[in-house]
Amino acid sequence: MTIFDITIQQIVNGLILGSFYTLVALGYSMVYGIIKLLNFAHGDIYMVGAFVGFMILSLLSGIIGDEWGGILVSMVLAMIAVGFLGVLIQRIAYRPMLSAPRLSILITAVGVSLVLFNSVMAITYGEYTAFNTGLGYEGITMGHVHVTYTQMVMVSATALLMVALHLFISRTIYGKAMRAISIDMDACRLMGIDVNKIIALTFFVGSALAAAAGVMAGVYYGSIHFFMGFVIGLKAFTAAVIGGIGSIPGAMLGGLALGLLESFGTQIPWVGSEWKDVFAFGLLILLLIFKPTGILGRTEIERM
């Protein structure tokens, strides 16, 4: 393969990986922007979304098939179901802790993560589950580069979800309420905004996006397991910090940048794929040293 072929192939791989990071990182940034919570259970929400999507697809495969029609329906239903799971978690675990010290709610998030992680591990007996679909490897071949239709659809679907989220945040009354709460929650309460309702909506949207990423990852890799949310949770958090935690465009930029960095980093001579985590977290350390607020983050001034 020529350098051009390798470059095109790694761009495709990086965009796919970055798509998963972006969708999960968006949930991190949305929740942090609203209630300043680092929701470390978000990676496990992604994992639960993959399993819910798999179960729905298994039930519907005999009715509408297991190709794109069935996958789309399964993904939408999984997004709705996991979105409500996120709302339930917020209502039970996080809402009572909003006035508690930051460390308390952070520990609660870790506890929720362990509950989801171990529950799925017990149900699946810790084994990998094959995410079987009727999709093949058809696509477009350019020289030595082969881009499948599955890869193109996934990148397009991620772009569509990001555009939809941007329009929701910038054009709807609920999106404006989210932005207002992220600036001054107490003032929003005085203005008559139902803060708890908007926070619940934020968890719904963030969890739904993570579920979409989980289903797409299952379709792409062909298998799912209870541990799949741990690493991507850390990577998505890294992407959110790189882009600027609390910034929606920053999460998008950080996720894509991290995916491309990992993809191209493994092509350096004498460096293999086992070094991709070194590139990811090395970039995080450097960024925190030289630009702690991230690429698009803003320095916050705390008012006394």
**pLDDT above 90 covers what percent of the chain?**
46
Q: How far apart are CA 78 and CA 55, in angstroms?
A: 9
Q: Nearest-CA neighbor of 74 among 5, 1, 12, 133?
A: 133
pLDDT of residue 195: 92
**pLDDT grade, residue 271 (50/70/90)?**
low
Please write down the HEC assignment for all residues of the chain: CCHHHHHHHHHHHHHHHHHHHHHHHHHHHHHHHHHCCCCCCHHHHHHHHHHHHHHHHHHHHHHHCCCHHHHHHHHHHHHHHHHHHHHHHHHHHHHHHCCCCHHHHHHHHHHHHHHHHHHHHHHHCCCCEECCCCCCCCEEEECCEEEEHHHHHHHHHHHHHHHHHHHHHHHCHHHHHHHHHHHCHHHHHHCCCCHHHHHHHHHHHHHHHHHHHHHHHHHHHCEECCCHHHHHHHHHHHHHHHHCCCCHHHHHHHHHHHHHHHHHHCCCCCCCHHHHHHHHHHHHHHHHHHCCCCCCCCCCCCCC
**pLDDT grade, residue 101 (50/70/90)?**
confident
pLDDT of residue 116: 95
pLDDT at 303 over 60: no
**pLDDT grade, residue 168 (50/70/90)?**
very high
39-81: per-residue pLDDT in tens? Answer: 889 999 999 999 999 999 999 888 888 888 899 999 999 999 9
Lowest-pLDDT range of 17-26, 157-166, 279-288: 279-288
208-225: per-residue pLDDT in tens? Answer: 999 999 999 999 999 999
pLDDT of residue 268: 67
Q: How far apart are CA 287 and CA 74, in angstroms?
A: 38
Higher confidence at residue 292 or residue 179?
179
**pLDDT grade, residue 304 (50/70/90)?**
very low
* Mean pLDDT of the region 23-42: 89
Domains for the chain: give ranges and CATH numbers. Answer: 3-133+144-290 (1.10.3470)
Which residue(s) pair with 139 in the sheet?
A: 148
pLDDT of residue 132: 86
**pLDDT grade, residue 273 (50/70/90)?**
low
pLDDT of residue 176: 93
* Mean pLDDT of the region 26-33: 89
pLDDT of residue 3: 77
How far from chain centre, in Å, is Cα 251?
Answer: 9
In whole numbers, what is the pLDDT of the chain averaged over residues? 87
Higher confidence at residue 292 or residue 304?
292
